[in-house]
Amino acid sequence: MYSQGLIGADGKTHEDAAFLAAFQARIDAEQKIEPNDPMPEGYRKTLVRQISQHAHSEIIGMQPEGNWISRAPTLRRKAALLAKVQDEGGHGLYLYSAAETLGVSREEMTEQLLSGAAKYSSIFNYPALTWADIGAIGWLVDGAAIMNQIVLCRCSYGPYARAMIRICKEESFHQRQGYEIMIALCNGSEEQKELAQDALNRFWWPSLMMFGPPEGESVHSNQSMIWKIKRFSNDDLRDKFINASVPQAEKLGLTIPDPDLKWNEAKQGYDHGEIDWDEFWRVVKGDGICNRERLKNRRRVDRDGAWVREAAMAHAQKRAARTASARIAAE
Amino acid sequence: MSEAAMPLWEVFIRARNGLSHKHAGSIHATDAEMALHAARDVYTRRGEGQSIWVVRSSDIVASDPVDKDMMFEPTASKIYRHPTFYEIPDDVGNM
Ligand SMILES: [Fe+2]
Ligand SMILES: [Fe+2]
């Protein structure tokens, strides 16, 4: 998962009080909600929105890294990166099918992504400029994703929780391969270490933004907490991520690009500097460095693959018709 | 999009011989053969399976959760179907 921050969802419900109370009682008893169970329309909509945004993020997320597969420095790195990008595609597919159990079709979701109506995580609108960025993405972007995803394994909606469990099992290799790239660069020449520092400088803040704005501004997250779709606030998860990442950066001998970052003995965690939420909203609204390119690529790939899908459909229909007529002839 | 919707398939995987097939998720594919290929690529990238079943989702007949009480509640009162319902003296030993 790449976006916990649910962007612009409408969590309103119109069902009567008894229905809502019965539903909430099930949630409070930690019962999982399954596809055809009665559920408030707001719950269903919120999930469709969140799961499809998450799926789109996995799919678009293949682009920055896919861009480096042909330029990976060794065969080992290339095999690992290829496997990682393939995993991300798989994550997208698990999540699309989880969303489909809520009554939205794959075609509708694809259409929303291609038309630009659907959102995906803002992190993927930043470019991967150097090989060190591939290290930083695995280490930080997948690391932030893991923080989000681990808690989603306990989400109240069964199919989403199950998809998250499968995804989490696959994610840890992603982060480790990224950190290993960073270790290699930091143990290399001066220039290599500079590349690593530069990648950290560019990816640090956007990674923190992946957790979404603080709850005060994120109006709908409260309802998501009550429904146990999410279980921690954006700030809590962000703090956990910072506390885990700072020592990892120290091990690498790199500096986190935040002059205000300092250990707070009282809360046993780090205090961090101001996050530029204006930048976040700019990127969400389409004005990031790569927004246009990402969608343009996705549309091109969809167009280029259309004939394959059409041919496969035609072939399947022809074969089915042939089997049917053979059966009639035999009878 | 003017394209026709691609059929949905449910994927069941046997992790090891000795275990039954278990629902893993779903995929879209035009026919059974492609469904098997897609299921392999999507759900068994790390040796999760020894055998795959794919079934068209539209061929699955499911009970309605709304009927849950009618379907399953009656069994709750039939405690005599469980071994603990019967009183056997302790000195008889394990039975
Ligand atoms: Fe992923
Ligand atoms: Fe990942």
- Is residue B1 assigned to a domain? no
- Is residue B29 assigned to a domain? yes
What is each CA distance from A78 to A210, A223, A259, B18, in whole angstroms?
A: 26, 43, 35, 37
Our CA-based measurement puts residue A224 at a distance from the nearest CA of chain B, in whole angstroms, of 24
| The total number of structural domains that make up chain B | 1
- Is residue B89 assigned to a domain? no
Q: Which of A302, A297, A301 is nearest to A124 (CA)?
A: A297
CA of A151 to the centre of ligand 1 (A): 15
- Is residue B81 assigned to a domain? no
Is residue B52's pLDDT more than 70?
Answer: yes
Residues of B in contact with A105 (CB under 8 A): 5
- Is residue B73 assigned to a domain? no
CATH number of the domain within which B30 lies: 3.10.20.520
pLDDT band for B3, please (50, 70, 90 cuts).
Answer: low
Q: Which residue of B has its CA nearest to A106?
A: B5
- Is residue B88 assigned to a domain? no
A106 neighbors A59 (Cβ within 8 angstroms): no
Which range among A71-85, A110-124, A180-194, B53-67 shows the weakest confidence by mean pLDDT? B53-67
- Tell me the residue range of the domain where B57 lies: 8-62
CA of A104 to the centre of ligand 1 (A): 21
Distance CA A108, CA A243 (A): 39
Straight-line distance from the first to the last Cα atom of chain B, in angstroms, rounded to the nearest whole number = 65
What is each CA distance from A201 to A42, A140, A235, A282, B90, in whole angstroms?
A: 39, 11, 21, 19, 72
ipTM: 0.84
A139 touching chain B per CB within 8 A: no
Reported pTM: 0.90
- Is residue B25 assigned to a domain? yes
Is residue A14's pLDDT more than 70?
Answer: no
Residues of B in contact with A107 (CB under 8 A): 1, 3, 5
CB B5 to CB A107 under 8 A?
yes
Residue of A93, A109, A170, A310 to mutate, testing the B interface (most B Cβ within 10 Å of its Cβ): A93
Mean pLDDT of chain A: 92
- Is residue B18 assigned to a domain? yes
Tokens 């299921």 identify what position? Answer: B39
pLDDT band for A218, please (50, 70, 90 cuts).
Answer: low
A125 neighbors A206 (Cβ within 8 angstroms): no
pLDDT band for A6, please (50, 70, 90 cuts).
Answer: very low
A100 touching chain B per CB within 8 A: yes
Above pLDDT 70, what percent of chain B?
97
β-pairing, B51-56 with B8-14?
antiparallel
B20 neighbors B14 (Cβ within 8 angstroms): yes
Distance CA A319, CA A138 (A): 44
pLDDT of residue B34: 95
Q: Which residue of A has its CA nearest to B45?
A: A87
pLDDT band for A15, please (50, 70, 90 cuts).
Answer: confident
- For the segment A86-92, the average pLDDT, to the nearest whole number, is 96
Q: pLDDT tens digits for A202-214?
A: 999 999 999 999 9
* B45, amino acid identity: R
pLDDT of residue B48: 85
CA of A124 to the centre of ligand 2 (A): 12
Size of interface A-B (CB pairs under 8 A): 58
pLDDT band for A5, please (50, 70, 90 cuts).
Answer: very low
Is residue B2's pLDDT more than 70?
Answer: no
Residue of B8, B30, B43, B58 to mutate, testing the A interface (most A Cβ within 10 Å of its Cβ): B30
Q: pLDDT tens digits for A116-172?
A: 999 999 999 999 999 999 999 999 999 999 999 999 999 999 999 999 999 999 998
